[in-house]
A and B are shown apart, each in its own frame.
Chain A
């Protein structure tokens, strides 16, 4: 087991003359006293270049730089930094000419609560260079698996780690592999599902772009464990950069013999090819995905007990699941199982987007609360607006309102709350997002993506869409809400695949948490969020308008009148409610009511 922290102590002549050796002894003693000898390794190094400030200490992997150390600083330093994880500011290096050190990356809220496992190499390596991946323990897990472990041992390790499918459903990975291993039919296949169709999700793209080899290595290990010799990487064509990088990575791995025949001289053969998707959301569903690879019409089929590819056993896992595999073999199931909650182990990558200050990719231990993700990591809602909901699980998921912010994020809790983990998309919505309109958006999406096989999904989504569109147009009728609910439940029960069954989720969960908004649309013909065009008007605030004419110049209808430096007004007859004025105004004077 590698040490978690490395302490580089400079032992050049200069630093030794400043007492570096005493510091080193003191460090060793204090580390032992705190029982950290298995976690912290003290490494004597050569001149660091700044030894006038010696003795110098660099703590890796954080990269914290301590200077001018004295023997009496050490007990405090060891306790604070290595035991409690709080670097000692007063001893840190201050670059010349600055009053205070710039913040340490990990003290920034966005990075503080993150823990990178699947994304372990993001931003650190050049994804186009296999050597850099290898330098960060790459392909060691594969070497270990094929040269020193049996198939059963690999699967046991994965099972013990508690790893569950990161694509959304959360099926235990070890159990999936084991059932395929026991299947007598050959040849077997492994497939990486990178057909990340959920709008608002980009975890898979980032992993493949940042660290393609981690996915390849994971797949090779999986192939070894189940006895497969070929694999497919099913990647969306909307991600051209990811396609390019994974193709290059596969070529490099082949050159090194990490893919191909007789890998590491163990007799294990495995090769991988990229299959570019063609823009169909339904292909993320496993039976449709295999049909797509087989060149059939990618309609989901009645799910057999086990999905097959060309009637042979196949393991299909999500990108993130595969990327976790090498780490588990390197660090052990026990280590992995200590992260996360009782039933959801490890970390989960979320893509945080929408109305949030720090949009981006975050990897957090399972069990963290939504509040932590939205407010601590995400930095809250921009422009001081109110938080309204966070949408997880894409078009199959649901909305989680403010009252559920303290929900702990794991598979079970999210399911219970009427949403789902999904692949990890998290779209944050502020007060200006209309929930009826959002439900309409998702239904329009699934209606468009429905393959059309089941009537309930094809016609049901259309019926939902018609009702919701009517509501947004201010033509909602009493009884519509009940109709939506009835339809939603019917669609859920009667559809064959996951797309259809989960299609009503956005409608049902928004109805559950935001029923008032639906009522406002129907009874008062009012859109509380100010978004539904038919129910709003644009006006210019008397107090805020500075008369700059920016909006008037941009208005496509020339509906805004008013001289420079005077109050502008909008001619409601001409206004098409396009919102250009809203974008153009620099002083937030355009009001939506």
Chain B
């Protein structure tokens, strides 16, 4: 349909209050249209509001979303119809008639101040949350499970136990195998998503298997000033492995570490628990020889 006059008439109905719906509503409302924003959930925001980061730029989801939510919430030209669903649409372009069913909220939105007191005092609210679909039991080898459970038995408490547990697991297995993480989630009742985020946040934890020996080239400032980069390059060249990877034969992992606090003897490397000071490129072959 092509509008023949430039006179703006009527109103627009946007279905779905996610980030796309909100942006569309804002653009239209800014353009002078009256907007009805229909959203079936109790609040606008959609899926993006549940995300932490978004692909591919890894941008913070809330940082993108929050300004639009606030703008939509306060815009005089946008009428929000949340907790509502469309029942029928009749008519043609320019003259639609839409039937919207507003579901009962049992709360008068005009009067509600959002204090949250009703949630706190409700006796049955937790029932909804407890009734989650159960996860399938974790597939894990018996001896591994025994080891993991041994470690888990050392700790009790809330989320604060997760870092110490992962330390112990890392020490036992030298990396964090996925089935072990699932087992931790199962026993501690800490969501696997949280465990994975913690595990991937810290440099100390590895989500892929390591080589038999782990070479860490210190790239602290003092070592860097004294040529740590060249030493790292040499290891990478000699072992034919990229930094952060494992050699094909599984013998060595090559990593960097931000300072082992041994700056007096920079440049420094560590191989497993051994520390070598005053390293230069010509020593690389010799060091590797000790571990092959």
Give me the interface of A with B, judged by CB distance under 8 Å: 196-202, 204-206, 236-240, 275-281, 292-298, 351, 353-355, 359-361, 391, 394, 425, 427, 429, 433, 438, 441-442, 445, 449, 451-455, 458, 554, 556, 578-580, 583-584
Contacts and interface: CB of A to CB of B under 8 A. Distances in A.
B86 interface: no
Contact of A359 (B164, B224, B257, B263): B263
Contacts of B226: 354-355
Nearest to B256: A448
B162 A278 contact: no
B158 interface: yes
Interface stretch (B2-10, B34-42, B202-210, B246-254): B202-210
A589 to B, nearest CB: 15
B202 A354 contact: no
Nearest to A298: B201
Contact of A238 (B162, B167, B233, B259): B259
Interface centre among B58, B197, B260 (most CB of A within 10 A): B260
B219 interface: yes
A94 B234 CA distance: 51
A409 to B, nearest CB: 18
Contacts of A433: 225
B262 interface: yes
Contacts of A353: 221-222, 263-264, 266
Contacts of B103: none
A455 B260 CA distance: 30
A198 B259 contact: yes
Interface size class of B (residues with CB under 8 A): 35 or more
A294 B222 CA distance: 33
Interface string B245-286: 000000000000111111111100000010000001110000
A361 B263 CA distance: 10
A199 B219 contact: yes
Contact of A280 (B201, B222, B260): B201
B260 A297 contact: no
Nearest to B229: A441
Contacts of B224: 199, 438, 441
B220 interface: yes
Interface in B48-76: 53, 58-60, 63
Contacts of B282: 554, 580, 583-584
A293 B78 CA distance: 44
B160 interface: yes
Contacts, number: 153
B180 to A, nearest CB: 16
Chain B interface, DSSP helix/strand/loop, else mixed = helix
Nearest to B225: A354
A425 B262 CA distance: 12
Contact of A295 (B163, B237, B238): B163
B198 interface: yes
A202 B230 contact: no
Given A354-B266, A355-B226, A199 B221 contact: yes
A583 B281 contact: yes
Contacts of A425: 221, 263
B211 interface: no
Nearest to A442: B221
B101 interface: no
16 contacts: A202-B264, A205-B261, A237-B167, A237-B204, A238-B260, A278-B166, A278-B203, A280-B201, A280-B202, A295-B161, A297-B201, A298-B201, A354-B266, A359-B265, A578-B281, A583-B280
A292 B163 contact: yes
A324 B257 CA distance: 30
Contacts of B259: 196-202, 238
B203 A578 contact: no
Contacts of B219: 199
A455 B60 contact: yes
3 nearest A-B pairs in the assembled complex, by CB-CB distance: A295-B159, A199-B220, A353-B263
Contacts of B167: 237, 276, 278
A310 to B, nearest CB: 8
Nearest to B205: A278
B20 interface: no
Given A276-B167, A580-B234, A239 B261 contact: yes
A200 B221 CA distance: 5
- Of residues A201, A295, A442, which shows the largest number of chain B Cβ atoms within 10 Å of its Cβ? A295
A315 to B, nearest CB: 18
Nearest to B198: A297
A425 B227 CA distance: 18
Given A278-B163, A295-B160, A394-B221, A202 B262 contact: yes
Contacts of B161: 295
A298 B205 CA distance: 14
Contacts of B205: 278
A197 B203 CA distance: 12
B233 A578 contact: yes
Contacts of B166: 278
Given A202-B263, A238-B261, A584-B281, 19 more contacts: A200-B220, A202-B261, A206-B261, A280-B201, A293-B160, A297-B198, A297-B201, A353-B221, A354-B263, A354-B266, A355-B226, A360-B264, A427-B221, A438-B224, A438-B225, A455-B60, A455-B63, A580-B230, A583-B280
Nearest to A433: B225
A197 to B, nearest CB: 7
B204 A279 contact: yes
Contact of B266 (A359, A458, A556): A359
A527 B224 CA distance: 17
Contacts of B261: 196, 201-202, 204-206, 236, 238-239
A336 B202 CA distance: 39
Contacts of A202: 259, 261-264
Nearest to A295: B159
